[in-house]
Homo-oligomer: A and B are copies of this chain.
Amino acid sequence: MARLAYFQGWRTDQIARLAAGAKQYILVKNERLIRKGDLLDSLSVLVSGQLRLCIPLPGEGERVISLVGPGESFGESCLILSEACPFDAVASRQCHMLRIDKRSYLRELRLDPSLTENTLQLVSRRLLETLRDTGICAQRSSVQRVSCYLMQFRPEPECADFQVRLQALKRDIAAKLGLTQETFSRVLGLLSQQGVIHVDGSLIHVADARKLASFSPADCR
């Protein structure tokens, strides 16, 4: 546990106590760990694999809120407020999970102000990420959304040329952008055709970041 990114900043005795109320388990691909509206009794930390947090839409389909990778967690805000979970959590592939008892988690938090501080930063970061995603999805056209999405991976402003490795299926990326996979695919095709990007599977080479930026609002980083 101590090796997981999530527990950087925790003392070993704290981790040890958490471990007492922790369980490990495996999720098979497409297994649904949490349903929207569930009351959580534990914090989930991902050891390996990937899962998506998403909002189910009426009649097949979903909107992806977040893609969770190894060392990341989710559910803090629900535990802190004892509120129902506002999203589904689904394994995008086989996952190795850690489930930490709510009571133990909240107790450690209460006992050590510096952990509360860390968590405050974590939740703040997540809020800002969510707001950024909102900004992307609010873009009117599909080209603008994809452009914004890619531009956020630009390593530094004014960098003209960079690569992006899509960290999930295109289907899921599309659902995160509020698009269908068909539309996403077409946009990538269009941008390729114009020579702005080159697509090779899940690897996207942004060849002309200036031009790509011209499709999206100035304030996209």
Kindly report how many copies of this chain are found in the complex they form together: 2
- Tell me, in angstroms, the Cα distance from A37 to B37 when the chains sit together: 34
Q: Which of A134, A139, A140 has the most CB of B within 10 A?
A: A134
CB contacts (< 8 Å) of A83 on chain B: these are: 128
Which one of B37, B57, B130, B132 lies within 8 Å of A127 (CB-CB)?
A: B130
List, in ascending order, chain B residues with CB within 8 A of A68's CB: none
B135 touches A86 (CB 8 A): yes
Chain A: how many interface residues by the 8 Å CB criterion? 45
User: Beyond A116-B116, A116-B117, is A131–B219 a contact (Cβ under 8 Å)?
Assistant: no
**Which chain B residue has the least Cβ–Cβ distance from A78?**
B128
* Residue in chain B with minimal CB distance to A77: B124
Determine if B123 and A124 form an interchain contact, defined as CB atoms under 8 angstroms apart.
yes
Question: Restricting to A41-82, which residues have a CB under 8 Å from any CB of B?
Answer: 55-58, 61, 63, 65, 76-78, 80-81
Cβ-closest chain B residue relative to A217: B58
Q: Are B116 and A127 in contact, CB atoms less than 8 angstroms apart? A: no
Interface SS of chain A: helix, strand, loop or mixed? Answer: helix
A5 at the B interface (CB under 8 A): no
Contact for A86 among B55, B61, B128, CB less than 8 A: B128
Check B120 against A130 for contact (C-beta < 8 Å): no
Complex interface: chain B residues within 8 A of A120 (CB): 80, 116, 119-120, 123
Interface pair A63/B123, CB less than 8 Å apart:
no
Contact across chains for A128 and B81 when beta carbons are under 8 A apart: yes
CA distance A77 to B61 in the complex (A): 32
On chain B, the residues within 8 Å of A125 by CB distance are 77, 81
CA distance in complex: A110, B118 (Å)? 12
